[in-house]
A and B are shown apart, each in its own frame.
Chain A
Amino acid sequence: MEKHQKIYKLTLIILLVAITLVLPVITIIRSLNMPEKPFSETENRYLQTFPEISFDTITDKSFMTDFEKYFSDRFVLREEWINIKNNSDRLLGQKEIKGVFTEQGRMMEAWKGYDSNLVNRSLAAMQSFADKYSDKKMYFMLAPTSQEIYKDTLPKNCGAASQKDFIKLCYDSVPGMKGIDIYSSLNIAKDRYIYYRTDHHWTSLGAYLAYHAAGVDMGYTPLSIDKFNIEHASDSFRGTLYSDTLDNSITPDTIDFYIPSGGETAIRMEIQNGENTNVYDSLYFRDFLTKKDKYSAFLGFNVPKIDIISQATKGNDNGSLIIFKDSYAHSLIPFLVNNYSKITVLDMRYINVPLEQLGVNMDEYDSVLFMYNVITFSEDTNIPKLNFLAK
């Protein structure tokens, strides 16, 4: 009895000493061998670097805060710990892990409502923009996200808000723009591969359906789907929703490029990333396919401005188009280049100077398209900037 007591007490003590020594020691050794500014592919950000020690950083506590981040960022087996926590939450009955529903083999970003003040300000800014350029054709395209299309798979009473109603409300509030209904086309095709399972974006097929549906409203003849060769660019895509949940049980996604049967549409793309301007002859950045952030293979990162000049199909040139957008548009633009010989893509999240200063002359464009997904649109605080950008 006495002997046993000593054995189990010592065992527990030694076990905990081992845990609290081994984990930090490995963590420290590993971080010493890391590059100075390590990048986490999963979290898609640079990890915290070792904070500077000075009187100022200590008195304002930034050293302590940053050091705690530094230590946690490098903590050994970080992703495994997070997986354990997520699984434990799931076991305890949580249906949503980090704002993501996982149902029937698919992750969906949860959207439960919006700030109507913010949305109203965005819509008002768009309406006054439409009034100002009433000579141009104005289009407004809001894409539902996968939560809306697959809402019948969501847990009961989970509070998911109706994106269909939201889209209608937005279209009604901006009479100066033609609202393009793509919800119906996507909803009918819900059994096809129109949304990624592990990412919040739509697939190329989803974007194609939107492109096809918009043709009537925007006045172009969409290329029919059999005019494309499908290039399976990657079948190991794990997107943003995977980064949130780290749930390995969901099959990785396939990224498809829809290449016109005659070969990639000849284009000249000028990307202004805020620092410098680069020119490319393809819309696709295949380098990203070997990285974590594979969606950026479509037109690269979000940047302030992209100019695309293309050889639109003969007899099918609908002129020039300016697009205000979020990253959903990156899958759509490869289709639009077949119908617009000149497209300028603007991302207001990165623009803080009037458009003129960015080299955009509104007179050069026939049409304007606002293209967002519902979630980004409802949360974006940059749209009211329109008043200032286009003054």
Chain B
Amino acid sequence: MVFSTPVFLYLFLPLTLLIYYISPKKAKNLIILLSGLLFYSWGEPIYVIVMIISTMIDYCAGLVMNKFEDNKTMRRVCLIVSVVMNLGLLGIFKYNGFIAENINAIAGQTLIDINNMYFFGIEYLPMNTLPIGISFFTFQSMSYTIDLYLGNVKVQKNPISFAAFVTLFPQIVAGPIVRYDDVARELDDRSITLDLIYDGIITFIIGLSKKVLIANSIGAVWTSIKAMEYSTMPALTAWIGILAFTFQIYFDFSGYSDMAVGLGKMMGFHFPKNFDYPYMSKSISEFWRRWHMTLGAWFRSYVYIPMGGNRKGLPRTIINLAVVWFLTGVWHGASWNFILWGSLYGVVIILEKLFLGKLLEKAPAVICHIYTMLLVILGWVLFDTADLPGAGGYIAAMFGAGGSFADSQAVYLLTCNAVMFVICIIGCTDIPKRIVEFIRKKSEVTLGYIAIPVCAAMFLLCTAYLVDSTYNPFLYFNF
């Protein structure tokens, strides 16, 4: 299930919260587990089994690790079982097709036929299915066994509490990547206060509006431009398209994270922040400290630092960074586009570490912003075009290879979406936040009263957009 559907907003959420609030404290984790399973199976009725198995193995690995507290080998075996199992699941479900394609390409023949993985009529390797959120829940659940091995967290003996951590529905499908350590204390003891619920509602509505009102609308512009012919595309059209995607992915992803954080608060949890105005960054290193922060933190804690981080000299630091950024690319998806996308970020970050960073410090702020956004925007082309030639063609169009600067269609696209672009530009800076803070300083009570109609109106407007998305007049006399 996703948050932005009438069924979630008007059936699942109110019912779940109602039951959650009235049930006794001891039963609340069970409610989280059951609602999470329902939430996940709504979208993945079969592969929910994958999640259950992964949870059970990690839970048992934790117990065994705890039992053999002094036996280092045994602890290591448990860790390896957990990591291999989680990465194995990712490998099977996410990367198999990609790996097969590349093996075939290298061999020059079809060694592995990805469309024919049947054995006596049963598809033994699900080549074309990617269970929702598998990249998120495997990483979340792995954080428990790794931290337990490193001695950062205590064992969770209660299977329901552990399962509740994995199946906690707000963060199950699109993050933030909540580490066990982040919520360990709250899993066993949390208080749900009026203030927390209030904050949660507001954060949720902000996230919902970002996703439904902004990301979906601006995303439609990108969808239409992406489908056009790149070789004759005017430069302006190409820029409108990729800027639309730049905004779409930010408002979609950060909106989803806001919704998760808000829902978490309503249920008594404090999830880590995932976005901190990334498009205001002045360097790529800073951008990645502000974009999808929980993923960066995950790789830092479990890959970069264990490999020695920056404590083993410059050459080693560079290698460590390269590994992390290669993995970041791979994590985002199984294609060369993503690998190249992640690796290029790695290169830029290494360069910034070596000398570029110092240059940027001296440069005027405008230059730093332009430098950062230009790279980020070019990155998004790699990220969201179908393949490398497609990405190349699109970037060429952005720089005039289409043969013209603008045509009447580009002007039309711009005029129809001008208001939306202005909203996007303002919305991804901290200006709205500063306005809110300004009013709060004058009078917190006034702000509180303004928030009531504004939040209600946004929520209802989102409802209108969601109901409309299923509006489908069937005009049979208009075939």
Contact = CB atoms under 8 A, between A and B. Distances in A.
Contact of A12 (B201, B468, B471): B201
Interface of B: 1, 5-7, 9-11, 13-14, 42-43, 45-46, 194-195, 197-198, 201-202, 217, 408-409, 411-412, 415-420, 444-445, 448-449, 451-452, 455-456, 459-461, 463-468, 470-479
Contacts of A295: 477
Interface stretch (A80-88, A133-141, A264-272): A80-88
A38 interface: no
Nearest to A200: B478
A224 interface: no
Given A82-B464, A84-B461, A159-B412, 19 more contacts: A10-B194, A12-B451, A13-B197, A15-B456, A17-B14, A20-B9, A20-B10, A42-B473, A43-B471, A45-B474, A58-B45, A59-B45, A75-B6, A82-B468, A89-B217, A92-B420, A94-B417, A301-B476, A327-B478
A302 B201 contact: no
A150 to B, nearest CB: 18
A24 B467 CA distance: 13
Nearest to A9: B198
Contact of B444 (A1, A71, A240, A380): A1
Given A293-B477, A296-B477, A376-B479, A8 B468 contact: no
Contact of B195 (A1, A9, A200): A9
Helix, strand, loop or mixed for chain A's interface?
Answer: helix
A326 interface: yes
B473 A24 contact: no
A12 B457 CA distance: 11
Contacts of B194: 6, 9-10, 13
Interface in A252-295: 293, 295
A5 B448 contact: yes
B407 to A, nearest CB: 8
Interface in A57-86: 58-59, 61, 64, 67-69, 71-73, 75, 78, 81-82, 84-86
Contacts of B471: 43, 78, 82
* Most B-side CB within 10 Å, residue of A21, A78, A81, A82: A81
A376 to B, nearest CB: 7
A168 B459 CA distance: 51
A4 to B, nearest CB: 4
A105 interface: no
A290 to B, nearest CB: 18
Nearest to A88: B461
B429 to A, nearest CB: 19
B467 A82 contact: yes
B467 A72 contact: yes
Nearest to A349: B479
Nearest to A244: B473
Given A68-B7, A71-B7, A21 B477 contact: no
Interface string A30-45: 0000000000001111
Given A23-B10, A44-B473, A8 B478 contact: no
Interface of A: 1, 4-6, 8-13, 15-17, 19-21, 23-24, 27, 42-45, 58-59, 61, 64, 67-69, 71-73, 75, 78, 81-82, 84-86, 88-89, 92-96, 155-159, 200, 240, 243-244, 293, 295-296, 301-302, 326-327, 349, 376, 379-380
* Most B-side CB within 10 Å, residue of A9, A13, A84: A9
B470 A72 contact: yes
B464 A88 contact: yes
A5 B11 contact: no
Q: Which 6 A-B pairs have the closest CB atoms?
A: A45-B474, A8-B448, A157-B408, A157-B412, A72-B470, A84-B464
Contacts of A9: 194-195, 198, 448
Contact of A93 (B6, B418, B449, B473): B418
B1 to A, nearest CB: 8
Contacts of B452: 8, 11-12, 15
A326 B471 CA distance: 25
Given A4-B445, A58-B45, A326-B479, A93 B468 contact: no
A89 B420 CA distance: 10
Given A71-B7, A94-B416, A240-B475, A20 B14 contact: yes
B460 to A, nearest CB: 7
Contacts of A5: 444-445, 448
B14 A44 contact: no
* Most A-side CB within 10 Å, residue of B7, B420, B479: B479
Given A1-B444, A24-B14, A240-B473, A71 B6 contact: yes
A73 B473 CA distance: 11
A75 B1 CA distance: 18
A88 to B, nearest CB: 7
Contacts of A81: 463-464, 467-468
21 contacts: A4-B445, A4-B448, A8-B445, A9-B198, A12-B202, A13-B194, A13-B198, A21-B14, A44-B476, A71-B10, A72-B467, A78-B467, A82-B468, A92-B420, A155-B412, A243-B473, A243-B475, A296-B477, A327-B478, A349-B479, A376-B479
Nearest to B205: A16
A244 B474 CA distance: 10
A365 to B, nearest CB: 25
A6 to B, nearest CB: 7
